Every structure is written in structure tokens, then in C-alpha cells.
A and B are shown apart, each in its own frame.
Chain A
Amino acid sequence: MCSREFINEQPREINKTLEREIKLARNIQMKLLNGKQPYLENGEVLGVSIPARVIGGDYYDFYVLPDGKLRIVIGDVMGKGIPAAMLMILTRGAFRSAAESTHGPGETLTAMNNAMYNDLRTLGSFVTVFCADWDPKNNTLTYANAGHNIPLTVTSEEDIAEFPKTKGVMIGGLPDQEYSEESLELDDRGFVLFYTDGIVEAQNKDGEMYRMERLCDVLLKSYQSNVKDIKESIVQSLNIFTEGVPQRDDITMVLLKSR
């Protein structure tokens, strides 16, 4: 007589437990991801990640090196949601331990690929990662790329460009990879944007994409702004464009501005 009630009760309980655990997982991810932003004497840096679902697979992180440089990393795990979030945590661990023991961004990516390759191949997944060391003494970025979107540098209200290209296979793509490094002297008053493709591929209700042109427009108009205001302008522009259409992919950006 009451067995029916019991049967109906079970899925509700399971759902409640799952919901609670996903919320906890989101908390863990958000706390790890949006941790303390480093204070810089000669510049400002800001990172933000907005998952498409409750949790996401994008990743960014900072690591202050003993010589005063700041190591910045941004990554995008294949897929989204819970599976991507699990691999994002793996990526974070690989970056944190690589950052401590490697000399430059190229070596960091090699160490991350060595640490993660077998697991990612087993799981049929991969991660794109861009890693850069900012030297505040000469305002120079040294960087290496593992298949990630090339960051943008804004040098005036009219000038924006991608970083000079450097090639590298995504993490989990091929074993034993070397990643070449490039350097870029930053503009004293300009800024750079590291980002994931969720920004330029955000869609409106007609299925049209936000695209690079719109992002560049916002960035040029933000030339004089501080990193917090630049971030706000990008998020606002995306919101206006998408008009509340649910986000398809995780959106992540890191802004760096010298002063």
C-alpha cells in the first residue's frame, strides 16, 4: 500500500542528494578558480570565469614566481559541465606543480603534457592551454601555447592585435611535446586579454555569433579603463548581444594591464 509512495520518494531523494552535491562541487570549483587575485605593484590583473552550466571546464590561474614574475595560465577543457570540471581540477593540479619546478612557460606546458597525456588519452579528451610569464621589470610577456586562442594586445584606442603566433599541440594531443616561446614587450598604457572561445562563439537568438569584431570594438573603447571596468564592459556587451539566450560554452578571461 505504501510501497508506491516509497518508490516515488526514492528518485526525489536521489535528485536532492545530487543537487546538493553539484552545488558543493560548484562551490569547490568557484573557490579554487576565483581565489585571491595577486596584487601587483606595477600593474593590475583580473581573471573571471562564467560557466555555461552549474560548473564548467574553463580554467585560469596565477602563480607568483620567486623572481617576481607572474605566471598566468588560461585553459579550456574539451566539453563542458561536470566531466569537463573534473578534468579542469586535474589541469589545475598539473599547472600548480609544474609552475613550481619549471623555468618558463614552454617548460610548464611540457611538464603539464607529460603529467596529463596518458590520462587524457585514456579519457579521449584534451585541454588547450596558454601560459605566459609577465616580467614587471621590463613589462615583457614571455609565452607558449598549447592549441589555445591567441590573446589580444590593445596598444591604443585604434590598435589591437593578436600576439605573434607560437604553435604547440594541445595538452593530451601528442606525447613528449616541446613548446616554443615568444616574447612581447607590452605597451605602457595598454592591456592584454587572454580568453576562451566561449566569448567569441556566444550566440544570440538567431544563432549569430558574437565574433572577434565585437570583442575588438569593446576592447578598443576600453583602452583607458582599468581591468575591472574592461571586464564589466565585455560582460555587458555579451549580455546585450545574447539577450538572455542560455550560454552554450564556458566564458573565461584574464586581463593584464601595466601602470
Chain B
Amino acid sequence: MFKYSTIEKEKDIEVHLEGDLDIDGTEVVKEELIPMLQEYEQIKINFEKVLFVDSSGIGLLLELVQSLQKKEKKVSIINVTENVANVFELLQLPEILGEEVFL
């Protein structure tokens, strides 16, 4: 099951994702995270506990980050595990979302 927890400090928030990021994450990302994160200015997305991501998950991540970037939020993705980093690299996500997003 895909879930998340948050640590907030004024206008900054760190979102800890947990579980496989795939089609089952659709509701969490689209209905909870995207609306909720609009209130913050600096958003860190922590991937430490995400061990698998498939193409549907990548689609969700793109939607999440790009919708926040459109609103000029500063988004960063941190602590990506090796397997997931390989997928990001294959798809060249840093080129699509911006090198500065991946810390």
C-alpha cells in the first residue's frame, strides 16, 4: 500500500513517500498530495522508502512535480534508492523536471 507522512515548518514541507509508486498511488497523489501541497513554497519529496516505481508511478510523479512547478513552488526529490534512481536516469527525469530538482 502506498502512503505518506509529512514534516512541516512554516511554508516548507517534507513529504515522506512509502511503498511502491504505481497505479495504486493515483488517489493519494492526485486527490491528496497535489491539492495539499499548493499551500507550501518549498517542497521536498523523500523517496527513501520507495523501492519500486513503474510507468504509471512515473506519470504520477511528473504530474505532481510539474503541477507544483507551474505554481512556482520549489520542488526537490531526495534520498532516491538505487533501483528507482536507475529508472529516473533511464527516463532522463532530471532533463525533464530540471537537474536542480534531484538532490
Contact = CB atoms under 8 A, between A and B. Distances in A.
A and B found bound together: yes
Interface of A: 76-80, 124-126, 128, 147-150, 167-170, 173-174, 197, 201, 249
B92 A173 contact: yes
B95 A174 contact: yes
B55 A76 contact: yes
B59 interface: yes
A197 B56 CA distance: 13
Given A124-B63, A125-B59, A169-B95, A79 B90 contact: no
Which residue, B23, B52, B55, B95, has most C-beta atoms of chain A within 10 A?
B55
B13 to A, nearest CB: 23
Interface residues of B, number: 14
Contacts of B52: 201
Contact of A173 (B23, B55, B63, B91): B91
A60 B69 CA distance: 35
Contacts of A147: 90-92
B58 interface: yes
A128 B96 CA distance: 14
Interface string B17-28: 000000100000
Given A80-B23, A124-B62, 8 more contacts: A78-B55, A79-B55, A79-B56, A128-B91, A170-B91, A173-B95, A197-B54, A201-B52
B59 A169 contact: no
Contact of B90 (A78, A124, A149): A149
Contact of A126 (B54, B59, B90): B59
Closest 3 CB pairs of A and B: A78-B55, A147-B91, A78-B59
A200 B41 CA distance: 39
B23 A79 contact: yes
Contacts of A169: 91-92, 95-96
Contacts of A79: 23, 55-56, 59
A78 B58 contact: yes
A167 B92 contact: yes
Contact of B59 (A124, A174, A197): A124
Interface in B80-103: 90-92, 95-96
A149 B91 CA distance: 9
A149 B90 CA distance: 7
A50 B92 CA distance: 27
Contacts of B63: 124
A170 B90 CA distance: 9
A78 B91 contact: no
Contacts of A128: 55, 90-91
Interface in B1-41: 23
Nearest to B60: A124
